[in-house]
Chain A
Amino acid sequence: MAINCTVNKKKVSLDIDPNTPLLWALRDHLSLLGTKYGCGIAQCGACTVWVNGEPTRSCVLPISAVSNALITTIEGLDPAGKHPVQVAWDELDVPQCGYCQAGQIMTAAGLLKKNPQPTDQEIVDGMSGNICRCGTYHRIQEAVKLASKKTKK
């Protein structure tokens, strides 16, 4: 039976193995390639998307669990790149290779949605589940802070 859900405000129907992790459904079946594979075991955060507004590791979440859910991927955060987190990421020139950044941004935007003015420690804690192999951590943390300021205005 097909799984119906909403991805980036579009209704989609996935008639595939219900055990398929959401990550591969997005990438291989919906051609949404912005969400990245990093480890497949929910350790690195590269695959982070929102499920009903909650940052979620899509690599271990079967699509059977997202029936009727609202899913937001990096492509749907703000396609024009005007979300405060995206703007802050560009302004502070966060990316090096850029591969993990979709997951970082979805985690950061999720964090700020829940806690628009996090303390420095809350930012560090909130972002430390996401690995960046290039080591852009300082700028990630600074960019979350900057995005928080932008959101406040």
Chain B
Amino acid sequence: MKTSRRDFIQKTALFTGVFTLGFDWFSAEASPMEVVAGAGRFNAFLSIDSLGKITLFSPNPEIGQGIKTAFPVVVAEELDVDWAQVQVEQANLDTKQFERQLTGGSGALKHSWERLRKAGATVRKMMMQAAANQWKVDVAQCKTSKGFVLGPAGQKASYGSLAEAASTLPVPSDVTFKDRKDYKIIGTRVKGVDNKNVVTGKPLFGIDIRKPGMVFAQIVRPPFGATLKSFSAEDVKKMPGILDVVSFKNKVAIVGENTYAILQARASLTCDYSSEAPLESNDTHANWFDEGMKSDKAQVMRKDGDFAAAIASAAKVIEATYECPFISHSPMEPMNFFADVKADSVLLAGPTQVPQPAQKAVSDLLKIPVDKIQVELSKMGGGFGRRLSNDFVLEAAELSSIIKKPVLVMWTREDDMTGGTYRPAARYRFKAGLDKNGEIIAFALRGVGLNAGNSTRQDNFPVGAIENVLIESIDQKSAVTTGPWRAPITNFLGFAEQAFLDEVAEAAGKDPIQMRLALLEKVKTKPVGKITYEPARFEEVIKQVAEKAQWKKKPGVHQGFSVYYSHLSYVAQIAEVKVEKGKPKVTKVTAVTDCGEVVNLSGAENQVKGAIIDGMGHALFAKLNFQKGVASPANFNAYRMIRGNEIPVIEAHFVNNGIAPTGLGEPALPPTGGSIANAIYAATKKRHYKQPFN
């Protein structure tokens, strides 16, 4: 492991008694490290004060995935300090110091694992060298423990006491990492670093931002596809607590002194809209799906062998169509953002998963250079992908530039649910051909998405195990805005694929698990085309879940199986269903996850259980309807969220293989709809082809 000078910066004596060792969490080898400018400006760094207190700044936005805890765990492990010594702070956007300062794609640990370990291990080595110099011993004779360097003759010096001397040393070019058997923090249960602030109600979220001179605003948005013709502002402007009513980009913003004044004003505001094309309704979307299925303009995403010939020769053909609606992300904290636009500078603050694109978009909108735009990150009250679209940031910035005031734009729940950027709706048609022995010889999938981009994942298993494959995608353009939703595309495609394979296994007269294992064996021995997954890791999660959940060994228990690879992680699930008063009830889900090294067991369990509950709730209940460009329902009274009395028992197991960590915020979600649907089928002989099931 090489550490180059540019990965590391040292700063001494910014403050009396404090020195900081900065490191670049995300440095690319190609990009030279900028020196941290000015005392008190903390960016990418690890600081150690003279009392030995270590402060770690966590750069990635915290959305509930636990990254603000997991990143520092890795640094602290290699630094070899006691977790209790560590203090964690959220870093604001700093594009000079950080790469990939975002939340999305379950990619943070994968990206930063080496960097974080290097950051800790390098400083540890410098501490040992400083102690060795002081004691006039060979550094090889020194060890560390809990933030102390230990010498050969029983000497002991705290990192704090060594910090200043260590800072003057050359940065070691080679560091070694701990053997994982020596881990003291990684893999244990580490509590969230924000817990104390959460349980005492500290203002942590975007909605809690308060700045001097700040006003509040809400924005009335048009139906999808409609244009604002006129609105009644004069009476509304006179209402108590209302400061202004302005319009931009087909929207009307009501600016006021407080939330309730604005809510009342909204009730009095009327807007007239027009549209060139007919506004979309449920029927429109159904027609577009039908057209897409018939179309000869599908884009071929993958072709192996000759599907048409193989299906024509098949002894048995299985065909099924699956469909999912647009759904809202519905994080508990609705969209909101703060902006203070001045003539030549901008302060943005709030919950975004992608602060750098937010900064860039605002720069483009307002023609203010990015280096004049500061972005402060708040904790996010969930997001599930919704905060990857920065529409809410742009609105706040544009409004502030118009009213020339610092403003917090708040979305109501109704705004959040009807205001767009949804999980795209999609329809999938699968076809599989079996030979006379029940082997799959042909496999095809056509995905028709509405603003979905590529609605397929053309390299997904069982592709790679089948000779003749045809995967096609068609994207239909809709005025309904869409964006990534936790486990984009696979959040529903995973269900469709796993439910279809269950049906294929039944038609072939095979056990669903044995059939998948046989297919994986083919991938190992006779792979077809490009293989993007590791069959051995697939097999391991499958075998482990079969054992843990006692597959087909529990009389009277109806089980359903699924397994999925996404975000570089593997998750196998077995769901159990019992029939109560004629209705299927999911009683248990057992999940085995291979996400490589589990950094924080507590956080990892939270992610797996949360993703399964998320996947189950949305599979059972979630749907938005469209009538003339307007989405409904608009709130939780009719848009059902899964509740605490509806959850199954969930067992979350992890494969212990020590592979570098991969994603975990999303991977447990995609297999959930499938395991549940397959268990429901086992119990009721009724297959589900559409979400929501209920």
Residues of A within 8 A of B (CB): 16-17, 19-21, 24, 27-29, 31-41, 43-44, 46, 73-75, 77-81, 86, 89-91, 93-102, 105, 124-125, 127-141
Contact = CB atoms under 8 A, between A and B. Distances in A.
B332 A102 contact: no
A39 B322 CA distance: 31
B606 to A, nearest CB: 6
B205 A90 contact: no
Q: Which 7 A-B pairs have the closest CB atoms?
A: A34-B201, A99-B381, A97-B64, A135-B613, A74-B201, A96-B64, A98-B198
Contacts of B617: 135
* B201, B205, B331: most-surrounded residue (chain A CB, <10 A): B201
Interface in B162-196: 189, 191-192, 194-196
A32 B201 CA distance: 9
A38 B258 contact: no
B195 A90 contact: yes
B199 A33 contact: no
A125 B645 contact: yes
6 contacts: A24-B259, A28-B260, A36-B381, A37-B259, A133-B331, A135-B612
A132 B644 contact: yes
Given A97-B332, A97-B379, A131-B636, A105 B199 contact: yes
B199 A29 contact: no
Interface in B605-624: 606-607, 609-614, 617
Interface string B317-332: 0000000000000111
A86 B240 contact: no
B413 A86 contact: no
B412 A33 contact: no
A11 to B, nearest CB: 20
B635 interface: yes
A128 B645 contact: yes
Nearest to A95: B198
A136 B635 CA distance: 21
Given A34-B202, A46-B332, A134-B64, 10 more contacts: A16-B260, A39-B636, A39-B637, A73-B201, A97-B332, A98-B198, A128-B646, A133-B614, A136-B609, A137-B644
B260 A17 contact: yes
Contacts of A140: 644
Contacts, number: 190
Interface residues of B, number: 64
B90 to A, nearest CB: 13
B18 interface: no
A96 B66 contact: yes
Contacts of B191: 90-91, 93
B397 to A, nearest CB: 22
* A32, A33, A74, A94: most-surrounded residue (chain B CB, <10 A): A33
B63 interface: yes
A41 B201 contact: no
B195 A95 contact: yes
Interface of B is mostly: loop
Contact of B192 (A28, A86, A95): A95
B333 interface: yes
Contacts of B65: 96
A135 B333 contact: no
Nearest to B641: A131
A37 B199 contact: no
Interface in B593-652: 602-603, 606-607, 609-614, 617, 635-637, 641-647, 650
Nearest to B261: A17
B160 interface: no
Contacts of A74: 199-201
Contacts of B204: 98
Contacts of B642: 135
A24 B332 CA distance: 17
B382 interface: yes
A135 B645 contact: no
Nearest to A103: B332
B207 interface: yes
Given A37-B207, A125-B645, A128-B643, A89 B195 contact: yes
B210 interface: yes
A125 to B, nearest CB: 7
A102 B195 CA distance: 11
Contacts of B200: 34, 74-75, 77-81, 86
B34 interface: no
Nearest to B205: A99
Given A34-B202, A38-B413, A105-B199, A44 B331 contact: no
B658 interface: no
Contacts of B371: none
A78 B196 CA distance: 11
B380 interface: yes
Contacts of A40: 412-414, 635
Interface string B118-154: 0000000000000000000000000000000000000
A138 to B, nearest CB: 6
B638 to A, nearest CB: 9
A12 B240 CA distance: 22
Nearest to A59: B413
Given A38-B332, A97-B380, A28 B258 contact: yes
